[in-house]
Amino acid sequence: MTVLLEAVEVTKRMALHGRQHGQWFTAVDSASMTLESGKVVALVGESGSGKSTLARLLTLGDEPSGGTIRLAGKDVSHKRRTDRQAHFGQVQLIMQDPFASLNQLHRVRYILSRPLRNFGTADGDLTAKVIELLERVNLTPGEQYIDKYPHELSGGQRQRVAIARALAADPVVLIGDEPVSMLDVSIRLDVLRLFADLCARDGLAMLYITHDIASARYFADEINVIYAARMVEGGPAEEVTQRPRHPYTQLLLESSPDPDRSSQRRTLPMADGSNEPIDREQELAGCPFAARCPHAMPICTQKPPPTTTSTNGHWTRCWLHEE
Ligand code: SF4
């Protein structure tokens, strides 16, 4: 498979404001991942873990403080603002809320024509190209949707228009930031299947960002788990979900619905302030999950756990698995 987008040891430090003025916190700490043509990679973690910050860095909506972002092998980490347009076209972000992300004052025709013009991706008949985009996201026949306003569409149809708008730029990578979490449960599966088809059929790479490991298990080829700015486990989706090694991944799976599992669902232990920025800085000295981990040992708060990788590519960062 062709590597399209890579993050290598990417870090983002941010300045705090207000009463914490002058202090910094780490939103993403040394995150690495590879997005390949035809493959879906999931990034799973709870709110505030750094998932969306990493998405913003990958789309060059923000500049990393450290590490490298490569598109088709070229370092794009510190491109000047004026040189980022080509990257914006190649790496498209799909947001959580299709109602907020589409301009309610414009018809679908305008919403899709604009990126076609801006990115210069349509030759000839613009209407035909808009209809083709609509049908690519299974809004068929396209003529039925082209003159509708977003408020005349269902939530699922609106998200398909948002996906069509992303495709209008002719990207090689799609980044979906919780792209189905605001949709009815009944249509989430259809939208995830559409993403899977786009990757398999058209060779796109996808990063699927979610807090829901159950949907990642169903949909992704590979899963990376992030907790408090740090990637803690990753590998083939089947392997990570069937044989999770990190206690945080185990708790995520135990607290997610699984029709195949007869045991009781567990609830994640309460965050005891560990997601607060200042506490997070202190935890970077050791394991970020130490305050919540049922298996924590003295070394867990003293030294960052090493990365342990098995031959099948399943890796974890936890002292329990030190070799
Ligand atoms: Fe728990 Fe220690 Fe492993 Fe962190 S390193 S997950 S605290 S056992």
pTM over 0.85: yes
Quick one: pLDDT at residue 8? 97
* Residues paired with residue 188 on neighbouring β-strands, in sequence order: none
Token pair of 34, please? 């590879």
Say yes or no to pLDDT of 98 above 90. no
More confident residue, 312 or 124: 312
Tokens of 82: 């004026």
Centroid of ligand 1 to alpha carbon of 239 (angstroms): 20
Which pLDDT score, from 0 to 100, does residue 271 have? 44
The Cα 9–Cα 66 span in angstroms is 7
Phi, psi of 91 (to 5 degrees): -120, 105
- Weakest-pLDDT range from 28-32, 79-83, 155-159, 252-256: 79-83
Residue 279 has pLDDT above 60, yes or no: no
Residues recorded for the chain: 323
DSSP letters of 88-113? HHHEEEE-S-HHHHS-TTS-HHHHHH
List residues bridging with 205 in a β-sheet.
173
pLDDT above 60: residue 66: yes
Residue 44 scores a pLDDT above 80: yes
Q: Which atom of ligand 1 is nearest to the CA of 300?
A: 2
pLDDT value at residue 121: 83
Q: How many C-alpha atoms does 12 have within 13 Å on its Cβ side? A: 28
> Higher-confidence residue: 270 or 159?
159
Provide the β-strand partners of residue 6: 34, 70
Q: Calculate the average pLDDT of the chain.
A: 90
| Bridge partners for 34 per DSSP | 6
Mean pLDDT lowest among 96-110, 156-170, 229-243, 253-267: 253-267
| pLDDT digit string, tens, across residues 19-41 | 778 888 899 999 999 999 999 99
pLDDT at 18: 81
Residue whose structure tokens are 């449960």: 185
Ligand 1: which of 231, 300, 308, 315 to mutate, most ligand atoms within 8 Å of CB? 300
Say what the pLDDT of residue 142 is: 96
Residue to substitute in 232, 248, 251, 287 for testing ligand 1 pocket (most ligand atoms within 8 angstroms of CB): 287
Taking a C-beta distance cutoff of 8 angstroms, is the pair 233, 252 a contact?
A: no
Q: Distance between CA 112 and CA 308 in Å, rounded?
A: 46
Q: Which of 31, 1, 35, 73 is nearest to 220 (CA)?
A: 35
Q: Give the mean model confidence (pLDDT) for residues 197-203.
A: 95
**Which pLDDT score is estimated for 273?**
43
Structure tokens belonging to residue 5: 């987008």
Question: What pLDDT shows up at residue 276?
Answer: 47
CB atoms within 10 A of CB 109: 17
Measure Cα distances from 74 to 69, 71, 195, 202 in Å: 8, 5, 26, 22
> To test ligand 1's pocket by mutation, which of 230, 319, 321, 322 has the most ligand atoms within 8 angstroms of CB?
319
Residue 274 predicted with pLDDT over 50 = no
The owner of tokens 């130490």 is 290
The answer on pLDDT for 124 being more than 90 is no
Range of the domain at 209: 3-321
With bands split at pLDDT 50, 70 and 90, how would you rate the model's confidence at 80? confident
Of the candidate ranges 88-92, 110-114, 269-273, the one whose mean pLDDT is the lowest: 269-273
pLDDT-wise least confident of 13-27, 47-61, 231-245: 13-27
Cα distance between the two ends of the chain: 31
Our count of domains for the chain comes to: 1
Q: What band does 278 get if pLDDT is binned at 50, 70 and 90? A: very low
Pocket of ligand 1 (CB under 6 A): 246-247, 287, 289-290, 293, 295-297, 300, 305, 318-320
Residue 295's CATH number: 3.40.50.300
The better pLDDT of the pair 225, 186 is held by 225
Closest residue by Cα to residue 103 from 157, 150, 160, 152: 150
Place of tokens 């009815």: 184
